[in-house]
Chains A and B, each alone.
Chain A
Amino acid sequence: MAHLNDGTLRRMLDDPDAITAPDREHFLTCPECKARQEALSADAREAAALLAVPAAGFDAAAAYKNVTATPARPRFGFRLPILRPSTRPIVAGLSLAIILAVVATASVNVSQIFAPKTVTPVPVTFAELQTLPDLSAYGDITWTQQPTPEIGITKAEAEKVAGFSAPNVGNLPAGISSTVTYAAMAQTTGVFKFSAAKAQAAAAAQGKTIPTMPAGMDGSTLNLTMGPALLVVYGDLPKGENSGQFALPQLIVAESNAPSVTSTGVTVKELENYLLAQPGISPQLAADIRAIGDPTTTLPIPVPIQFATSSKVAVQGVQGVALGDNTGVGAAVIWIKGGHVFFVGGSLKQTEAVTVANSLT
């Protein structure tokens, strides 16, 4: 009979009963196998000694509390999607791009409410997103109603917060999880007050030169109104800020009142010229924002051109913007209907996102 292999000899040290009877019989009568086992037994003993560590007590209950605790912990322990720190400037830039575009295209009569009725894509580059100026450097925002998202609430609770019914998906793509999480946010209002001194100081601190704020803009205000909004998330929400990753849920369906902006003390042309002349706003981005058709009724959707392609699509009988592609990595559709902004997106194909969008009731 052939000699026992090293694996069998090694296992015999830990589990003498795990070998077959013929193997055992051979081992008992084979000096060579015994000698080999002696050698590997010495290695095993030494490895065990080398890997010995002081006993440590691990408190699972405390660790669980640590993992699920968060300053703004929602009811069932879910957290907002976590972004890598390096992506946060991009998201902040994206938010600014939206505000900038909304402001820059606000009504000619700025005292009237800006009320978008349709959407259009505005291409932005990664570099532009990173270099867009921080809006907080141009003044101060005061929230009269703080954004207070509630996550992991029931459908009824979400509808109560939002004040409208949750969008119902009539045609759910195959493979989408039946795990559903509702989130909602009540209406948020804030006042942004321009400050020429703050803008100049912030620019000087960064060694930049910015245009002088037009007369009348310093101290003037923008009144921002956003929401209420309701989100339906299919699939597991990303959790844990230690994970350090942003995972797109399988499907998000969101509905919100269209945002509105009113302004005092400055004309929209002055606003547009001033904001689009800031460092970090490329001539191309400025031209794209100026080229938007009807500035009083159009919500520009900034589209990072390196990460997403965009196209105009017909959805729910109106024009919407579709982002992403058909690879399934990520796609979204955004449209405005009846004074509400709708968003359907997730880790699905663009065709699936459009189908879901058209099936909403």
Chain B
Amino acid sequence: MDIEGARRITAVKSEQDAFEALFKAEYARVAGIANRVLADAQEAEDVAQEVFIDFHRLHSASSPYAAPWLYRAAAHTALNRLRGRRRRERREHEQAVDDGSRALDPQNVAELNEDRRRVREALAKLPAKPAAVLVLRASGLSYTEVAEAIGVRTGQIGTLLRRAEAALRKEVTRGTPE
């Protein structure tokens, strides 16, 4: 093999190694962000893997923006799924209440299902940026990390977070039956 060929093969292997390292270092955090939105560990893993595949298809794993890109993509992809499943969840909720009525502790089951549904529905109604800030911060990212992921100055995060928390509370309260 010529030197150029060897160099290129090495580059391919290095990229693959870098992707594996990135995946293993960030997977839990990326899946955790998706889980924070979806409250469904299995679906969160689907989102996380989809996000990593998309990143790998488009970018080099050694890119300095790799982690922020993954965090943001995880939040947005999960929020998009949440918006898409609102109708389906409504149907499932009705079914869950029916099932819960036959469970050992029907009151608790029904309340838990109701709480989760209301929170996810409220989250899906928030504007994209505040919703992402809220989810990323709740997932344990620092203000600086959230700012990098969203592409805003760190100084703006407090304001975005404050608005998102107020909006979430308002939406949940609005959706709570009297």
Contact = CB atoms under 8 A, between A and B. Distances in A.
A180 B45 contact: no
B127 to A, nearest CB: 15
Contacts of B159: 5-7, 10
B32 A58 contact: yes
Contact of A14 (B36, B46, B143, B172): B143
A10 B158 contact: yes
Interface in B134-172: 134-135, 137-138, 143, 155-166, 168-169, 172
B94 interface: no
Contact of A243 (B2, B13, B16, B53): B53
Given A7-B158, A67-B23, A179 B143 contact: no
B49 interface: yes
A156 B1 contact: yes
A242 B50 contact: yes
B73 interface: no
Interface string A71-101: 0000011000000000000000000000000
Contact of A242 (B53, B155, B169): B53
B71 interface: no
Interface residues on A, range: 35 or more
B155 A7 contact: yes
B48 interface: yes
B166 A40 contact: yes
A58 B166 contact: no
A305 B98 CA distance: 54
Given A51-B119, A64-B27, A77-B16, A10 B48 contact: no
A67 B52 contact: yes
Contacts, number: 149
A8 B134 CA distance: 16
Contact of B12 (A11, A66, A179): A179
Nearest to A68: B20
A235 to B, nearest CB: 11
A43 B155 contact: no
A154 interface: yes
A243 B155 contact: no
A18 B143 contact: yes
B12 A181 contact: yes
A236 B11 CA distance: 11
A358 B53 CA distance: 35
Contact of B162 (A7, A51, A238, A240): A7
A63 interface: yes
A26 to B, nearest CB: 16
B32 A56 contact: yes
Contacts of A63: 23, 27, 31, 45, 48-49
Interface string A151-172: 0101110000000000000000
B162 A6 contact: yes
Interface string A25-64: 0000000000000001001101110110110101011011
Contact of B48 (A8, A48, A58, A156): A58
Contact of B156 (A7, A44, A243): A7
Contacts of B92: none
Interface string A236-248: 1011101101010
A46 B36 CA distance: 15
Contacts of B115: 50
B169 A51 contact: no
A243 B57 contact: yes
B24 interface: yes
B8 interface: yes
A15 to B, nearest CB: 7
Which among B123, B143, B166 has the highest number of chain A CB atoms within 10 Å? B166
Given A6-B158, A11-B161, A56-B44, 11 more contacts: A7-B160, A44-B162, A51-B36, A58-B45, A60-B23, A67-B53, A154-B1, A179-B15, A180-B9, A239-B53, A240-B56
20 contacts: A6-B163, A7-B161, A7-B162, A8-B158, A43-B165, A44-B165, A47-B138, A50-B168, A50-B169, A58-B28, A63-B45, A152-B12, A154-B5, A155-B1, A155-B2, A155-B5, A180-B11, A236-B15, A238-B57, A242-B53
Interface of B: 1-2, 5, 8-9, 11-13, 15-16, 20, 23-24, 27-28, 31-32, 35-36, 39, 41, 44-46, 48-50, 52-54, 56-58, 115, 119, 122-123, 134-135, 137-138, 143, 155-166, 168-169, 172
By Cβ-Cβ distance, the 3 closest A-B pairs, closest first, are A7-B159, A7-B158, A240-B53
